[in-house]
Amino acid sequence: MPLVHLTDLISKPDNTYAIGAFNVSDMEMAMGAIQAAEELEAPLILQIAEGRLRYSPLDLLGPVMIAAAKKCKMPTAVHLDHGSTMETIKLALDLGFTSVMFDGSKYPLDENIARTKEVVKLAKSYGADVEGEIGRVGGAEGDYKSVDVLVTSVEEAKRFAEESGIDAMAVAIGTAHGNYKEKPQLRIDRLKEIHAAVKTPLVLHGGTGLTEADFRNCLANGIQKINIATASYDASAAKIKEVAAANPQAKYFDFSDAIVQGTRENVKKHMHIFGLEHKA
């Protein structure tokens, strides 16, 4: 099936489901995510964060992701998560990614808007979509330094959405990347206010560790894309340990299969929660 765009999947009036965007770091994880999408007849976003590229170079993994997405029988987009440099963003676009994220949340608002507009201009020349971020999601994605949560303000979200030209906007409502050390306190009140003020589809980062009720509350109040990374890595690692404990003579391909299975199970679990079954 041909690749689809981010906007093909998330530009919808229906708030009964949100599209899952699942980070992968190797061929096995991509295979597991695709198997889950096909089993549930669900749309899929495959993505890789720039902070993970030390482990999975984009020039090697990117073509694998593109090939896997094209092979998938369900509508699949390929996305660069948390892009921070124009060099990486351009490489993703050259490889055929259908969308890129520029994370300018560390910059003052004016600079974030200006830099994001440059990315939008570049991406549109490729026919690709762009996700931006306003406010700051806590924790750390990949090798980036951990940061504290800075909840998105309604005024800045409205200006950022209107001036940057982005197709999707990641907002900070109390979530954090990685595993939570304490129960997150989600600002659903702020999410409702932002959703009422902007037309741009909203994105939730830091999904690992949220409850099913948390997810459903977010998608009911404007979230249209939910990122899942750490949960898939943890599920794959747990499956590898399970195989090793059960069979000390396990071979390389036993562990390869474990990564596929761990990812597939985690993606399916979250797709069920996000209401994606039979939504392709």
Among 25, 24, 256, residue whose Cα is nearest residue 33: 24
Pairing of strands 99-102, 129-134: parallel
Residue 36: burial class (beta carbons within 10 Å; 0-12, 13-18, 19+): buried
Looking at the DSSP bridge assignments, the partners of residue 20 are: 226
Contact present, 206 and 198 (Cβ < 8 Å): no
Record the pTM: 0.93
CA separation for the pair 161, 83 (Å, rounded): 18
- Which candidate, 205, 174, 202, places its Cα nearest to that of 188? 174
Tokens 């921070």 found at: 84
What is the full per-residue pLDDT of the chain (280 aa) written as tens digits? 889 999 999 977 677 899 999 999 999 999 999 999 999 999 999 999 999 999 999 999 999 999 999 999 999 999 999 999 999 999 999 999 999 999 999 899 999 999 999 999 999 999 999 999 998 765 445 554 544 557 899 999 999 999 999 999 999 998 765 554 556 778 999 999 999 999 999 999 987 778 999 999 999 999 999 999 999 999 999 999 999 999 999 999 999 999 999 999 999 999 999 999 999 9
Annotated binding site for dihydroxyacetone phosphate: 178, 206-208, 227-230
- Note if 81 is an active site residue: yes
Query: What is 6-274's CATH number?
Result: 3.20.20.70
* Amino acid residing at 162: E
Q: Which residues contact 131 (CB under 8 A, 6 or more apart)?
A: 6, 79, 99, 100, 101, 102, 166, 167, 168, 169, 170, 203, 225
Which of these is catalytic: 8, 14, 26, 81? 81
